[in-house]
Structure 1
């Protein structure tokens, strides 16, 4: 931490936190308009941030988060790693749309190579709307990134005053400001009403500097697809993944790891053809664990990662190895 106020880089990517609606009562049309204010304009709305940190803002991209994927993840990771390699930078805030915020956060959680704070935030209501959460969420993100107690906790998210671990956080509601939840595990702490940053828990799974993933020299990532199971689902979509020769597959099944017979048979065929298959659950909480039958079929169990998070871990695992046991180890450690 530098003497005096910390220096926080703010990397903006667009999203609702920068969205422009047609009027003050618009909460749904602004994504279709696609207009965004700059990060400098966002900061002009919260002059109180000057008391928290010296901020250095930049607009890296300006899109809705539905347009963010592996290409943008790599670009963002490289930029953050470059910023945090500078001894004068104490932390990074990323502004991001909420649709895929949890996925970007987990990718960064596994690929950022610094213990300095990296904090993602967004908004459920654009800054042009009555009752917007954009201003407070951005202020809270700066507050959390500037706090020395955020050091070493991996990538964090902050919305609705709640600090979450990037591994566990998931969007649970389409419009409410309390949408981001950690399922049954509990959030980490608060950016609270008295201006304090307070932690009650810390992540235990490997992240940031302790991971084996190095992506700064990469321009592409392995393709991993997700197939969602439902009553009566069969081999159709899995066969599409097989015929596409995708690098990996995540199969989102029922409960603790059961699947329609035709779907699991097709998934086993994919494994036989050399496509790693991770078994996940469409349930919102709980683990998928290994069984003798799954072991015999050479599947990989997702532990408690949501399918969209399991996809990210499998993508990164495949940059390092295709050995099933090594990948299963990663799902137990990350």
Structure 2
């Protein structure tokens, strides 16, 4: 995606994934999100906290400090902040400097992910969070795997483009995604709602392969497989979908791949992948296979979009872009994203 036609590179009135819930504990975790340094930790009662991550005294990274109970102590000169961000102690004096508090970000936990709201605190609305129960990870009847998070040296919109045109699976992932070689030739259907936009492909009569047999060991014959690419916002895209018996049409199960995207800076992003399914939930071998596949698939996407980012960074002006019919969904998503950002700019 070439530079957005907006002044700011990303929306701030938005929930973004800050970390997996398992990453956040009683050690200070530093992360850069939308160009801002942030620290994450848990209070002694287990509540997740997100604060601005630089000490206002001399911009020392607070993740290099420590926790004193629920308070954050800067490792440079000992300035100490409460879990609300208020500066409470300056060891070298009794007076507390004005305007030295840290920003506290609204936090919510859903589906094993710690989400933070990066916009105006008064606009934070938990009903805008992804429905992680419907997607699988927050549903106890589904099996879920969290893949190792990655940082990619590319603007987040390039990953959105990548995920909304799954025809690339026939080429970049030809050796890593079973059945992926069929994707580029499949017809595309757009399913639009106010909440999402789904670029849907259905592979019909796909022959069995070792991965399908691992998923459905008792099924014989070909399958019909959904290759969805559903955009819920710049923070979340779902791929995968339902699988059916080609002969009788019975649904065998649903396999979702959740691509959770958080801009780090205008030219880099954090990428979390979560897989979830409503079948074979007691089959740990299938879960390990998903993780192993992710270790091969993710570097291929990373290499592709980093290569594009390097090209864009090296040009004096954006190159001419040619789109194909299958890009209709991605182009509509660009319009949705630009409209979201413009609405913020106009309200500012």
| RCO comparison, higher one (Cα < 8 Å, 6+) | 2
More strand by share: 2
Q: In proportion to residue count, which structure has more helix?
A: 1
| TM norm structure 1 | 0.30
